[in-house]
């Protein structure tokens, strides 16, 4: 699935659906599968990707690179031998910069064009964590990608937002790889994944279960696939990564037992 699509944007119009968690964990999974991976936080306004990798106060981020022309190499942090992270700033911008939506989109799109043309050659996969909503940041990130993955939760507001998100990505002529249905609890009141897939006209790539180890991992400033790599969500992320790389995931004996007794 990723052969032709090197730059993947993890998107959804809704905040809190699981974009950043998915971007961080997929990036680690790809790196564990031997792919040279870059994950970049394009959510400049309310960045959080760095926190998943222990980058609580990085000296240079994408924000300084864009606003102050710092070299991009200063904002690239090594997480493991195959994974590099470009965080964005956690501080808030108090300076008011008037600019129309079109101007902001054009500025960011031009910037990503130059940046990604250079970086794409150095990596097998580039993952973009994106801002929620339909604004300059999220639109520019979608435009910078080859394909998107939509993150949704199994409830009506999230499904409606995701439907709009998929329509928007198609309008921008981006390939929609599918939906990651996150925080699945298998409760009777939840929307069924087949129904969400059908109404979005897109396939469900993966169901990531509700897993409190995710919040624990974030508190430890680590992606869950490294913090607790046998947890339910970690296994789901490893399967998702394998699917995107076109190979079938072979569960370990522990994972098979866990699946049978669903702990």
Ligand X SMILES: Nc1ncnc2c1ncn2[C@@H]1O[C@H](COP(=O)(O)OP(=O)(O)O)[C@@H](O)[C@H]1O
Q: Minimum distance from CB of 214 to ligand X (Å)? A: 4
Concatenated DSSP letters of 23-62: HHHHHHHHHHTT--EEEEE---TT--GGGGGT-SS-SS-H
Does 208 interact with ligand X (rule: CB under 6 A)? yes
Interface positions, 144-183, toward ligand X (CB under 6 A): 182-183
Instruction: Closer to ligand X by CB, 97 or 189: give it.
Output: 189
Q: DSSP letter for 230, please.
A: T
Candidates 11-19, 79-87, 101-109, 246-254 — which segment interacts with ligand X by CB under 6 A? 11-19
Q: Which does 211 bind (CB under 5 to 8 A by kind): Mg ion, ligand X, none?
A: ligand X
Three-state secondary-structure class, residue 84: strand
Residue 70 Cβ, how far from Mg ion at the closest point, in Å? 23
Stretch of residues binding Mg ion (CB under 5 A), selected from 12-20, 34-42, 113-121, 177-185: 12-20
For Mg ion, the binding residue among 19, 63, 84, 174 (CB under 5 A) is 19
> Is 261 in contact with 233 (CB distance < 8 Å)?
no
* Tokens coding 5: 């699509």
Strands 83-86 and 77-80: antiparallel
Residue 21 sits in the site that holds ligand X (CB under 6 A): yes
Helix, strand, coil percentages in the chain from 3-state DSSP, rounded to 5: 45, 15, 40
Q: Residue 18 in contact with residue 180, Cβ under 8 Å?
A: yes
**Residue 20 binds Mg ion (CB under 5 A):** yes
Q: Which stretch binds ligand X (CB under 6 A): 27-35, 173-181, 190-198, 210-218?
A: 210-218
Interface stretch with ligand X, choices 10-18, 77-85, 196-204, 253-261 (CB under 6 A): 10-18
Whether the CB-CB separation of 129 and 25 falls below 8 Å is answered with: no
Task: Considering the complex, state which of residue 20 and residue 206 has its C-beta at the smaller distance from Mg ion.
Answer: 20
Tell me the CA distances in angstroms from 197 to 1, 19, 92, one per residue in order.
Answer: 18, 18, 37
Shorter beta-carbon distance to ligand X: residue 140 or 233: 233
Beta-bridge mates of residue 136:
none
Q: Which residues bind ligand X (CB under 6 A)?
A: 12, 15-21, 48, 182-183, 208, 210-211, 214-215, 218, 233
Q: Which residues bind Mg ion (CB under 5 A)?
A: 19-20
């Amino acid at each position: 699935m990723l052969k032709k699509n090197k730059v993947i944007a993890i998107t959804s119009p809704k905040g809190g659906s699981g974009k950043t968690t998915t971007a961080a964990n997929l990036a680690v999974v790809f790196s564990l599968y031997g792919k040279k991976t870059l994950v970049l936080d394009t959510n400049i306004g309310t960045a959080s990707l760095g926190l998943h990798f222990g980058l609580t106060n990085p000296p240079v981020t994408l924000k300084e690179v864009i606003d102050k022309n710092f070299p991009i190499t200063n904002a690239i942090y090594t997480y493991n031998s195959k994974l590099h992270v470009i965080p964005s700033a956690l501080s808030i911008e108090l300076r008011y910069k008037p600019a129309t939506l079109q101007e902001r989109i054009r500025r960011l799109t031009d910037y990503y064009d130059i940046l990604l043309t250079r970086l794409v050659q150095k990596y097998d996969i580039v993952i973009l964590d994106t801002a929620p909503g339909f604004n300059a940041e999220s639109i520019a990130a979608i435009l910078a990608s080859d394909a998107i993955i939509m993150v949704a939760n199994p409830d009506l507001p999230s499904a409606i937002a995701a439907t709009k998100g998929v329509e928007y990505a198609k309008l921008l002529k981006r390939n929609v790889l599918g939906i990651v249905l996150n925080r699945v609890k298998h409760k009777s009141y939840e929307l069924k994944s087949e129904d969400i897939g059908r109404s979005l006209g897109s396939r469900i790539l993966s169901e990531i279960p509700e897993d409190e180890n995710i919040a624990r991992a974030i508190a430890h400033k680590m992606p869950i696939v490294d913090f607790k790599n046998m947890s339910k969500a970690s296994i789901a992320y490893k399967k998702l990564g394998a699917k995107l790389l076109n190979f079938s995931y072979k569960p370990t004996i522990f994972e098979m037992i866990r699946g049978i007794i669903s702990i």
